[in-house]
Amino acid sequence: KQEVTQIPAALSVPEGENLVLNCSFTDSAIYNLQWFRQDPGKGLTSLLLIQSSQREQTSGRLNASLDKSSGRSTLYIAASQPGDSATYLCAVFSPYGNNRLAFGKGNQVVVIP
């Protein structure tokens, strides 16, 4: 069974610093990995989707890398802003099981003005 881990569970950074969030998964046989953002009391918003054949994806200030062989992904957020405060979730889709995503429990981020 695929296990997805995100450490640390919570972190605070001063505004302007770069954010680095880590996600690890136990089985490297994946189809893709997705990063989501969740604001308090709200649904999830997809940020980036990396296919298993890709090494990274970029969108604006966001960059996500994937190292499938070591079971790791990193989400970089450049020049953090208070509006980046949210919980970031990593999810992995594997080619077995009931066609579902395995989610990590998230990194809760606070950007301090």
Question: Is residue 100 part of the contact set for another protein (CB under 8 A)?
Answer: yes
What part of residues 34-73 is at the interface with another protein (CB under 8 A)? 34, 36, 41-46, 49
CA distance linking residue 50 with residue 92, whole number of Å: 10
Give the count of residues interacting with another protein (CB under 8 A): 22
Give the residues across from 12 on adjacent strands: 110
Pick from 86, 89, 109, 111 the residue near another protein by CB under 8 A: 89
What part of residues 3-32 is at the interface with another protein (CB under 8 A)? 31-32
Give the residues across from 89 on adjacent strands: 36
Query: Tokens 């136990």 label which residue?
Result: 26
CA distance linking residue 60 with residue 87, whole number of Å: 19
Question: Which among 13-21, 56-64, 77-85, 98-106 is the span making contact with another protein, rule CB under 8 A?
Answer: 98-106
